[in-house]
Amino acid sequence: MDEALLRSLTPSVLAILVRRGADFAAAEDAVQDALVEAVRVWPADAPRDPKGWLVTVAWRRFLDATRADTARRRREDLVDEEPAPGPTPAVDDTLQLYFLCAHPSLTPSSAVALTLRAVGGLTTRQIAQAYLVPEATMAQRISRAKRTVSGVRFDRPGDVATVLRVLYLVFNEGYSGEVDLAAEAIRLTRQLAAAIDHPEVSGLLALMLLHHARRATRTAPDGSLVPLAEQDRGRWDTELIAEGVEILQAALARDRLGEYQAQAAIAALHADAPTAEETDWVQIVEWYDELTRLTDSPVVRLNRAVAVGEADGPRAGLAALAELSDSVPRHAAVAAYLHERDGDLATAARLYAEAADKAPNLAERAHLTRQAARLNARRSGR
């Protein structure tokens, strides 16, 4: 059974049903039924036209459901609209599905789940496993999302920025269970890049590739986090880096800078440095200045403080950090790092312990706790 083929066909089959007038929620249910039937039938009797087969089965399932709960006149109209047998048109409506699933009325978590289901072709169980939540919880989340977008016109212009935010969220989830969400986000972003000519789509794809190239070195065999400066750069994926840089350069050449291109430029400078000591921190600060101008995000300014500390010394970094509220996530961790660089081990150890208490996950908490213990051991001469 070619699962990759099924997943690649899912968005176009769903789009065809919606374009023919099916309600999004009902169409999505019908497509899922067709996929289950394909898994049952295809191994023994593979169709010559897989997409056409899925469209036919999904449309019939939709009609069956419609007949059960709609008026007779509407049922007859739908039956009259059933297409004649034959090849399905080669129209790719995946882009519209992206915009529909990233509708601004949805919460970020619902938009991500709906995108993975409708565009990514993942099952509810797979999405639930990736998010480490019960399948019933994820099913409710997807059902609510489908109800929210069910009345949205399919031809309404979409917001590219919203779609990119959703894909960025998918990528940042990483992976767990049988679905690698980072790889899935790259697959979906490649698909979007093929459907729309937009420099920020290219910027996001480049950013994902450059970050993903370092993935194998981010954790030690025992699962502990490995900071960027300590990663084995010889194990970085040079093919992904080269592809990411090429895509980024083409996007930057269009002179329509956006936040994802700027982030990708920073990632490219890290990837280009043979060693941590050879990193071009001055240029990274310049890119953070651009990124701050584009977003004015406190998190961006926090990361800029780290870069300033590397380029101009830890006290300059602490001065930049002082301009930010200590409520910004990971503020204490950055302050601890800069104080350690400045030689104030007592303050750094205290801040590492404080940052560990606020860590968003167990791996980060364990890393920060080890940092605090390391400095306390140094101070006591052990």
- Per-range mean pLDDT, top range of 22-26, 95-99, 100-104, 368-372: 368-372
Whole-number pLDDT of residue 244: 97
Question: Per-residue pLDDT averaged across 215-232, rounded?
Answer: 92
Average pLDDT along the chain: 86
Contact partners, residue 13, CB within 8 Å, separation at least 6: 31, 34, 51, 54, 55, 58
Specify whether the CB–CB gap between 201 and 102 falls below 8 A. no
Its sign, for the CA torsion 279, 330, 127, 204, is negative
pLDDT > 50? residue 91: no
Residue 238 predicted with pLDDT over 70 = yes
- pLDDT cut 90: percent of the chain above it: 50
Residue 23: per-residue pLDDT: 82
Predicted local distance difference test score (pLDDT) of residue 158: 57
Which residues are 225's β-sheet partners? 219
Residue from 292, 202, 293, 294 nearest 248 by CA: 202
Distance CA 211, CA 263 (A): 10
Tell me the residue type at 273.
Answer: A
Global model pTM greater than 0.85: no
- Using the predicted structure, report yes or no on whether residue 132 has a pLDDT greater than 90: no
184 has a pLDDT exceeding 90: no
- Distance between CA atoms of 53 and 234, rounded to whole angstroms? 47
Q: How large a percentage of the chain has pLDDT more than 70? A: 88
